[in-house]
A and B are shown apart, each in its own frame.
Chain A
Amino acid sequence: AQSVSQHNHHVILSEAASLELGCNYSYGGTVNLFWYVQYPGQHLQLLLKYFSGDPLVKGIKGFEAEFIKSKFSFNLRKPSVQWSDTAEYFCAVNAGYSSASKIIFGSGTRLSIRP
């Protein structure tokens, strides 16, 4: 069965600091990978996704993620965070082209940015 691990439950950074949120998944086959963001009081939004091709994926608001197949990882990065990045971030995976097409989510990482 697929699973997703997010190592950090709560990350606190100052503005302009660099960000990296860890995500590891367990599944041996082809996967599609996602990062979702939930800003306070808002619904979940897709930040970026990886299907195939270039393992470095660029998303909205300056975020990027790198798929490293050998490490089963899909870490989220941003060179310089802003106060408005305060949110909960969820890594997610689904098995590519499987009849079981549900997306499995990690437990989330809460990001707090100090102004």
Chain B
Amino acid sequence: GAGVSQSPSNKVTEKGKDVELRCDPISGHTALYWYRQSLGQGLEFLIYFQGNSAPDKSGLPSDRFSAERTGGSVSTLTIQRTQQEDSAVYLCASSSDRGQGGYTFGSGTRLTVV
């Protein structure tokens, strides 16, 4: 596609429920990244994919967070048993190399846990 597409754009969920966030990167981009942006905070790195493998998942805050990428394209970030502190904007980005060219970001998914 023309840009990085994320869905849903907004998600309100009850504490304890699982959520899935989807990212569709720019066609042909091999690298895909997930970040989290909390209110008044910078961007917190979560995980990086090169193709379908994740060389760096050091930013995942707990084992409730997981992500996968299939076919070298779409990625899904799953948060199990959501907590209120998970409320944030989850951003996906992709790049054609290993990040050295800079990223193209999606518009994000605003997750609110009530």
Contacts of B107 in A (CB 8 A): 42-43
B105 interface residue (CB < 8 Å to A)? yes
Tally of chain A residues near chain B (CB < 8 A): 24
| Contact, CB under 8 Å: B106 / A104 | no
Interface of A, secondary structure class, is loop
Q: Which of these, A46, A90, A94, contacts B43 with CB under 8 Å?
A: A90
Please name the residue on chain A nearest to B89 by beta carbon: A43
| Contact, CB under 8 Å: B42 / A101 | no
| Contact, CB under 8 Å: A46 / B55 | no
Contacts of B108 in A (CB 8 A): 43
Q: A44-B91, A104-B45 are in contact. Are A96 and B103 (CB under 8 A)?
A: no
| Contact, CB under 8 Å: B102 / A49 | yes
| Contact, CB under 8 Å: B105 / A51 | no
Chain A to chain B contacts (Cβ below 8 Å), 16 pairs:
A34-B102, A43-B107, A43-B108, A44-B105, A46-B103, A94-B99, A96-B100, A102-B45, A102-B56, A102-B99, A103-B45, A103-B102, A103-B103, A107-B41, A107-B42, A108-B42
